[in-house]
Structure 1
Protein backbone atom coordinates (compact mmCIF):
# COMPACT_ATOMS: atom_id res chain seq x y z
CA UNK A 1 0.00 0.00 0.00
CA UNK A 2 1.28 3.43 -0.92
CA UNK A 3 0.07 6.52 0.92
CA UNK A 4 0.68 10.20 0.29
CA UNK A 5 -0.70 12.24 3.18
CA UNK A 6 -1.10 16.01 3.18
CA UNK A 7 -2.23 18.36 5.87
CA UNK A 8 -4.59 20.75 4.09
CA UNK A 9 -5.93 24.13 5.15
CA UNK A 10 -8.76 23.48 2.72
CA UNK A 11 -9.72 20.68 0.33
CA UNK A 12 -12.70 20.38 -1.95
CA UNK A 13 -13.79 18.08 -4.74
CA UNK A 14 -16.44 17.89 -7.41
CA UNK A 15 -17.24 14.66 -9.27
CA UNK A 16 -16.01 15.04 -12.86
CA UNK A 17 -16.23 11.63 -14.52
CA UNK A 18 -17.48 8.24 -13.37
CA UNK A 19 -14.85 5.60 -14.16
CA UNK A 20 -16.34 2.59 -12.37
CA UNK A 21 -19.67 1.50 -13.83
CA UNK A 22 -20.98 -0.06 -10.61
CA UNK A 23 -20.25 3.05 -8.52
CA UNK A 24 -23.27 4.85 -7.16
CA UNK A 25 -24.16 8.06 -8.94
CA UNK A 26 -22.72 11.11 -7.16
CA UNK A 27 -23.33 14.64 -8.40
CA UNK A 28 -22.47 16.78 -5.38
CA UNK A 29 -18.99 17.65 -4.19
CA UNK A 30 -17.81 18.50 -0.70
CA UNK A 31 -15.24 20.66 1.05
CA UNK A 32 -13.21 20.35 4.24
CA UNK A 33 -10.96 22.60 6.33
CA UNK A 34 -8.00 21.74 8.56
CA UNK A 35 -7.79 18.09 7.53
CA UNK A 36 -5.46 15.23 6.78
CA UNK A 37 -5.96 14.24 3.14
CA UNK A 38 -4.75 10.72 2.42
CA UNK A 39 -4.12 9.64 -1.18
CA UNK A 40 -4.13 5.85 -0.86
CA UNK A 41 -3.26 3.11 -3.34
CA UNK A 42 -4.03 -0.38 -2.13
CA UNK A 43 -1.81 -2.82 -4.00
CA UNK A 44 -2.31 -6.38 -5.21
CA UNK A 45 0.10 -7.80 -2.59
CA UNK A 46 -2.05 -6.25 0.17
CA UNK A 47 -4.69 -8.84 -0.68
CA UNK A 48 -2.27 -11.58 0.41
CA UNK A 49 -2.79 -10.33 3.97
CA UNK A 50 -6.13 -9.93 5.68
CA UNK A 51 -8.01 -6.64 5.42
CA UNK A 52 -7.87 -6.06 9.17
CA UNK A 53 -4.06 -6.11 9.33
CA UNK A 54 -3.77 -3.68 6.39
CA UNK A 55 -6.48 -1.42 7.82
CA UNK A 56 -4.72 -1.31 11.20
CA UNK A 57 -1.40 -0.36 9.56
CA UNK A 58 -3.08 2.39 7.51
CA UNK A 59 -5.03 3.82 10.44
CA UNK A 60 -1.97 3.86 12.72
CA UNK A 61 -0.10 5.85 10.07
CA UNK A 62 -3.01 8.28 9.61
CA UNK A 63 -3.45 8.78 13.35
CA UNK A 64 0.29 9.47 13.73
CA UNK A 65 0.16 12.00 10.90
CA UNK A 66 -2.94 13.66 12.37
CA UNK A 67 -1.27 13.97 15.79
CA UNK A 68 1.84 15.51 14.23
CA UNK A 69 -0.40 18.12 12.57
CA UNK A 70 -2.71 18.63 15.58
CA UNK A 71 -5.70 17.57 13.51
CA UNK A 72 -8.81 15.42 14.14
CA UNK A 73 -10.25 15.22 10.59
CA UNK A 74 -9.13 12.62 8.01
CA UNK A 75 -10.26 12.29 4.39
CA UNK A 76 -9.62 9.01 2.57
CA UNK A 77 -9.08 9.30 -1.19
CA UNK A 78 -8.50 6.30 -3.43
CA UNK A 79 -5.65 7.30 -5.73
CA UNK A 80 -4.56 4.53 -8.10
CA UNK A 81 -1.51 6.41 -9.40
CA UNK A 82 1.12 5.78 -6.71
CA UNK A 83 2.06 2.32 -7.96
CA UNK A 84 1.55 0.07 -10.97
CA UNK A 85 0.00 -2.59 -8.72
CA UNK A 86 -3.69 -2.39 -7.88
CA UNK A 87 -5.82 -4.39 -5.46
CA UNK A 88 -9.35 -5.39 -6.40
CA UNK A 89 -12.13 -2.84 -6.08
CA UNK A 90 -13.85 -4.98 -3.44
CA UNK A 91 -10.76 -5.31 -1.25
CA UNK A 92 -9.97 -1.61 -1.54
CA UNK A 93 -13.50 -0.52 -0.64
CA UNK A 94 -13.61 -2.88 2.34
CA UNK A 95 -10.26 -1.58 3.57
CA UNK A 96 -11.43 2.04 3.24
CA UNK A 97 -14.71 1.34 5.05
CA UNK A 98 -12.98 -0.45 7.92
CA UNK A 99 -10.33 2.27 8.20
CA UNK A 100 -13.01 4.96 8.30
CA UNK A 101 -14.87 3.11 11.06
CA UNK A 102 -11.71 2.63 13.14
CA UNK A 103 -10.91 6.34 12.82
CA UNK A 104 -14.45 7.26 13.91
CA UNK A 105 -14.12 4.93 16.90
CA UNK A 106 -11.00 6.92 17.85
CA UNK A 107 -13.00 10.20 17.75
CA UNK A 108 -11.79 11.40 14.35
CA UNK A 109 -14.08 13.13 11.90
CA UNK A 110 -13.77 11.17 8.68
CA UNK A 111 -14.93 11.19 5.08
CA UNK A 112 -14.22 9.36 1.87
CA UNK A 113 -14.15 10.92 -1.56
CA UNK A 114 -16.51 9.19 -4.03
CA UNK A 115 -15.07 5.84 -5.04
CA UNK A 116 -15.03 5.17 -8.78
CA UNK A 117 -14.80 8.79 -9.93
CA UNK A 118 -12.26 11.15 -11.36
CA UNK A 119 -12.64 14.31 -9.33
CA UNK A 120 -11.90 17.96 -9.82
CA UNK A 121 -9.76 18.83 -6.78
CA UNK A 122 -8.88 22.06 -5.04
CA UNK A 123 -6.12 21.75 -2.46
CA UNK A 124 -4.69 24.45 -0.22
CA UNK A 125 -1.76 22.85 1.57
CA UNK A 126 0.81 24.75 3.65
CA UNK A 127 4.52 24.24 3.14
CA UNK A 128 6.00 22.92 6.35
CA UNK A 129 7.90 19.76 7.20
CA UNK A 130 5.14 17.37 8.27
CA UNK A 131 2.45 18.76 5.94
CA UNK A 132 3.33 16.11 3.34
CA UNK A 133 4.33 12.56 4.17
CA UNK A 134 4.76 9.62 1.79
CA UNK A 135 4.84 6.03 3.03
CA UNK A 136 4.93 2.50 1.74
CA UNK A 137 2.96 0.44 4.26
Structure 2
Protein backbone atom coordinates (compact mmCIF):
# COMPACT_ATOMS: atom_id res chain seq x y z
CA UNK A 1 0.00 0.00 0.00
CA UNK A 2 1.13 3.47 -0.80
CA UNK A 3 -0.28 6.51 0.97
CA UNK A 4 0.12 10.18 0.21
CA UNK A 5 -1.13 12.10 3.25
CA UNK A 6 -1.97 15.79 3.42
CA UNK A 7 -2.79 18.22 6.22
CA UNK A 8 -5.55 20.29 4.66
CA UNK A 9 -7.49 23.46 5.27
CA UNK A 10 -10.17 22.07 2.95
CA UNK A 11 -10.90 19.23 0.54
CA UNK A 12 -13.78 19.41 -1.91
CA UNK A 13 -14.80 16.69 -4.33
CA UNK A 14 -17.59 15.89 -6.74
CA UNK A 15 -18.07 12.59 -8.55
CA UNK A 16 -17.22 12.98 -12.21
CA UNK A 17 -17.46 9.60 -13.93
CA UNK A 18 -18.01 5.98 -12.96
CA UNK A 19 -14.99 3.73 -13.58
CA UNK A 20 -16.37 0.39 -12.36
CA UNK A 21 -19.62 -0.97 -13.80
CA UNK A 22 -20.56 -3.01 -10.71
CA UNK A 23 -20.59 -0.12 -8.19
CA UNK A 24 -23.83 1.65 -7.42
CA UNK A 25 -24.64 4.90 -9.15
CA UNK A 26 -23.58 7.82 -6.99
CA UNK A 27 -23.71 11.55 -7.54
CA UNK A 28 -21.97 13.20 -4.62
CA UNK A 29 -20.39 16.52 -3.79
CA UNK A 30 -18.85 17.26 -0.42
CA UNK A 31 -16.47 19.70 1.26
CA UNK A 32 -14.52 18.63 4.34
CA UNK A 33 -12.60 21.27 6.29
CA UNK A 34 -9.56 20.87 8.53
CA UNK A 35 -8.89 17.16 7.91
CA UNK A 36 -6.07 14.83 7.03
CA UNK A 37 -6.63 13.66 3.45
CA UNK A 38 -5.10 10.37 2.36
CA UNK A 39 -4.68 9.34 -1.26
CA UNK A 40 -4.24 5.58 -0.94
CA UNK A 41 -3.29 2.88 -3.41
CA UNK A 42 -3.85 -0.78 -2.54
CA UNK A 43 -1.33 -2.99 -4.34
CA UNK A 44 -1.55 -6.54 -5.65
CA UNK A 45 0.94 -7.85 -3.07
CA UNK A 46 -1.24 -6.44 -0.27
CA UNK A 47 -3.77 -9.20 -0.96
CA UNK A 48 -1.30 -11.77 0.42
CA UNK A 49 -0.42 -9.72 3.50
CA UNK A 50 -3.72 -8.11 4.35
CA UNK A 51 -3.42 -8.20 8.17
CA UNK A 52 0.08 -6.72 8.19
CA UNK A 53 -0.90 -3.96 5.75
CA UNK A 54 -4.10 -3.18 7.66
CA UNK A 55 -2.27 -2.93 10.98
CA UNK A 56 0.49 -0.75 9.53
CA UNK A 57 -1.95 1.56 7.70
CA UNK A 58 -3.98 2.10 10.86
CA UNK A 59 -0.81 2.82 12.83
CA UNK A 60 0.34 5.35 10.22
CA UNK A 61 -3.04 7.10 10.04
CA UNK A 62 -3.28 7.38 13.84
CA UNK A 63 0.33 8.64 14.02
CA UNK A 64 -0.39 11.26 11.35
CA UNK A 65 -3.62 12.45 12.97
CA UNK A 66 -1.83 12.68 16.32
CA UNK A 67 1.01 14.74 14.79
CA UNK A 68 -1.54 17.09 13.22
CA UNK A 69 -3.69 17.18 16.37
CA UNK A 70 -6.73 16.25 14.23
CA UNK A 71 -9.52 13.75 14.58
CA UNK A 72 -10.86 13.91 11.01
CA UNK A 73 -9.61 11.98 7.97
CA UNK A 74 -10.65 11.54 4.34
CA UNK A 75 -9.78 8.25 2.60
CA UNK A 76 -9.54 8.61 -1.18
CA UNK A 77 -8.71 5.64 -3.40
CA UNK A 78 -6.03 6.83 -5.81
CA UNK A 79 -4.81 4.04 -8.08
CA UNK A 80 -1.99 6.13 -9.56
CA UNK A 81 0.74 5.73 -6.93
CA UNK A 82 2.06 2.38 -8.20
CA UNK A 83 1.97 0.12 -11.24
CA UNK A 84 0.96 -2.78 -8.99
CA UNK A 85 -2.79 -2.78 -8.44
CA UNK A 86 -4.97 -5.07 -6.34
CA UNK A 87 -8.38 -6.18 -7.51
CA UNK A 88 -10.99 -3.43 -7.13
CA UNK A 89 -12.95 -5.65 -4.74
CA UNK A 90 -9.95 -6.08 -2.43
CA UNK A 91 -9.09 -2.36 -2.53
CA UNK A 92 -12.66 -1.40 -1.59
CA UNK A 93 -12.68 -4.00 1.19
CA UNK A 94 -9.43 -2.60 2.64
CA UNK A 95 -10.64 1.00 2.52
CA UNK A 96 -13.95 0.23 4.21
CA UNK A 97 -12.34 -1.99 6.87
CA UNK A 98 -9.85 0.77 7.65
CA UNK A 99 -12.75 3.24 7.84
CA UNK A 100 -14.61 0.99 10.30
CA UNK A 101 -11.55 0.47 12.50
CA UNK A 102 -10.78 4.20 12.62
CA UNK A 103 -14.39 4.98 13.51
CA UNK A 104 -14.15 2.45 16.37
CA UNK A 105 -11.37 4.73 17.71
CA UNK A 106 -13.77 7.72 17.57
CA UNK A 107 -12.10 9.21 14.50
CA UNK A 108 -14.36 11.07 12.06
CA UNK A 109 -13.87 9.33 8.68
CA UNK A 110 -15.02 10.37 5.23
CA UNK A 111 -14.56 8.41 2.01
CA UNK A 112 -14.89 9.46 -1.58
CA UNK A 113 -17.08 7.12 -3.68
CA UNK A 114 -15.06 4.06 -4.70
CA UNK A 115 -15.07 3.26 -8.42
CA UNK A 116 -15.38 6.86 -9.55
CA UNK A 117 -13.15 9.55 -10.93
CA UNK A 118 -13.79 12.71 -8.97
CA UNK A 119 -13.11 16.33 -9.58
CA UNK A 120 -11.41 17.74 -6.49
CA UNK A 121 -9.86 20.81 -4.95
CA UNK A 122 -7.43 20.55 -2.07
CA UNK A 123 -5.89 23.28 0.07
CA UNK A 124 -2.79 21.78 1.64
CA UNK A 125 -0.93 23.58 4.40
CA UNK A 126 2.67 24.65 3.80
CA UNK A 127 4.58 22.92 6.59
CA UNK A 128 6.83 19.94 5.86
CA UNK A 129 4.54 17.56 7.78
CA UNK A 130 1.59 18.69 5.65
CA UNK A 131 2.78 16.35 2.89
CA UNK A 132 3.84 12.83 3.89
CA UNK A 133 4.35 9.74 1.72
CA UNK A 134 4.32 6.27 3.30
CA UNK A 135 4.84 2.86 1.74
CA UNK A 136 3.87 -0.36 3.48
Match of 1:111 in 2: 110
Q: With structure 1 as the length reference, what TM-score do the two structures score?
A: 0.96
Pair 1:96-2:87 in alignment: no
Match of 2:61 in 1: 62
Which secondary structure state, in structure 2, belongs to the residue aligned with residue 90 of structure 1? helix
Give per-residue Cα distances to partners, 1:62-120, cap 9 Å, x unaligned: 11011111110011100000000000111111111110011001110001100011100
Pair 1:36-2:48 in alignment: no
* Count of matched residue positions in the alignment of Structure 1 and Structure 2: 136
Which secondary structure state, in structure 2, belongs to the residue aligned with residue 68 of structure 1? helix
Which secondary structure state, in structure 1, belongs to the residue aligned with residue 91 of structure 2? helix
Match of 2:45 in 1: 45
Q: RMSD over aligned Cα, in angstroms?
A: 0.8
- For residues 3 and 38 of structure 2, the distance between their equivalents in structure 1, rounded to whole angstroms, comes to 7
Which runs of no fewer than 5 residues in structure 1 stay unpaired?
Answer: none
Which secondary structure state, in structure 2, belongs to the residue aligned with residue 114 of structure 1? coil
Runs (4+) of structure 1 moved beyond 4 Å? none
Which runs of no fewer than 5 residues in structure 2 stay unpaired?
Answer: none
Correspondences of 1:6-45 after superposition (within 5 Å): 6-45=6-45
- For residues 28 and 83 of structure 1, the distance between their equivalents in structure 2, rounded to whole angstroms, comes to 27
